Structure 1
């Protein structure tokens, strides 16, 4: 997983005025169904994370959940902790509290390394 400040979206090449657009990673743009499809995580699991205070999606004017790119990265990390490493909700809350005390750049490197190592561990069949 790569963590970056902005994600680029490019307009079609045949457009003579095409230019890269940058989306703020904090901007909530993805509804729950899109997040579920992007991550492979069921909407029910996302709701459970919310009910337990692990994530707090924004709400649209019609009260629909909206997630940012940063939310999606956090959701992937939560899934890794709860489903792959079998950490309970209380344990995840402690881990998140500790991570919140670490500077952003360092925290993202740690989260990325943990998920990457966990992915390799899973592939090894251990």
Structure 2
């Protein structure tokens, strides 16, 4: 049976075994709000594949890079912000493409310039 990426299906003991860590480590990550597994009505933790991938990232940062849990929290929050901004940029690019294809903004009134990794869109008003 194939499960969805976000579907909570793994017990804490299974996740601990998969990642070769102690279940207390997983509980600590939850206390630190680094991961939020789902819970059954009986309060049993269930982890999704997304949770496992996030824990792998946390382990890589702590083990290989020597980052403490407070640093991991900051890095993960920044990563989420960057992901949100990238999504917003993608949506704005689609809007600009639609505007150009429907000619809702005349080409002589819009200017798109590339600066570093960000695109800047300037609309002239008359």
Displacement after TM superposition at 1:28 (Å): 0.3
SS in 2 for 1:50: helix
Match of 2:58 in 1: 78
Say if 2:47 is the partner of 1:63: no
Q: TM-score, normalised by structure 2?
A: 0.62
Match of 2:102 in 1: none
1:44 aligned residue (7, 11, 24)? 24
Comparing both chains, which one has the higher relative contact order based on Cα–Cα distances under 8 Å and sequence gaps of 6 or more? 1
Displacement after TM superposition at 1:41 (Å): 1.6
Displacement after TM superposition at 1:87 (Å): 0.5
Match of 1:53 in 2: 33
Number of residue-to-residue matches in the alignment: 85
Q: Unpaired runs of 5+ in structure 1?
A: 1-8, 10-21, 107-126
Q: Unpaired runs of 5+ in structure 2?
A: 87-126
Displacement after TM superposition at 1:102 (Å): 2.7
Match of 2:4 in 1: 24
SS in 2 for 1:66: strand
SS in 2 for 1:23: coil
In 1, Cα distance between the equivalents of 2:34 and 2:83?
Answer: 19
